[in-house]
Amino acid sequence: MDARQKYLEENDYHLSDQFSDAVRSMSMELGSALGDAIDNTIYQIGYDEMEFCDWGIRVEYLGQMVYFSLRIAKADSNDVLFDNVKSITLDEYLDLINLNRHLDEHISPYS
């Protein structure tokens, strides 16, 4: 876990104890995949999102898609607070897509 937490801390993300504990309870591979997915998609959240919002994100792990809900607040590109992360069902992930609250690695930052 120390490597995952250090990775997120090096990217100027603020982590609540609840978020850190949840990631710490994951396998190293799943936590690393989640960290990579977060790093690749965090720009998709607007800077005026100071209130906490739940965002969906999916991660491929052992050939399967795993879906998560991230509780995030973001004031600017250097001020991101991760409050919680939890595993969710595909239906819950689709609900977040319908609310336009999902982070998608297939969206280019240059489009």
* CA 29-71-65 angle, 5° bins: 40
Please report, for the domain that includes residue 20, its CATH number: 3.30.2310
Residue 34 has a CB neighbour count (10 Å cut-off) of: 23
> Which DSSP string do the residues of 1-47 spell out, in sequence order?
-HHHHHHHHHTTEEE-HHHHHHHHTS-HHHHHHHHHHHHHHGGGS-T
Residue 96 is assigned to a structural domain of this protein: yes
Average pLDDT over residues 3-28: 76
Residue 12 within any structural domain of the chain: yes
pLDDT attached to residue 76:
63
pLDDT in tens, 20-71: 999 999 999 999 999 999 988 988 887 665 678 899 999 999 999 999 999 9
Would you place residue 7 in the very low, low, confident or very high pLDDT band (cuts 50, 70, 90)? very low
Give the residue-averaged pLDDT of 3-24.
Answer: 73
Torsion sign over Cα 67, 72, 74, 79: negative
Residue 28 resides in a domain: yes
Residue 18 placed within a domain: yes
Establish if 108 belongs to a structural domain: no
Confidence at residue 6, expressed as pLDDT on a 0 to 100 scale: 46
Half-sphere exposure of 29 (CA within 13 A, CB side): 6
| pLDDT at residue 11, as a whole number | 62
61 part of a folded domain: yes
Q: Looking at the 3D structure of the chain, how many domains does it have?
A: 1
Q: Is 106 helix (H, G, I), strand (E, B) or coil?
A: coil
Interval 65-93: pLDDT, tens: 999 999 988 766 567 889 999 999 999 99
Task: Provide the domain limits for residue 73.
Answer: 2-103
Whether 110 is covered by a domain: the verdict is no
pLDDT of residue 74: 75
In a domain, 109, yes or no: no
Q: Is the pLDDT of residue 4 over 50?
A: no
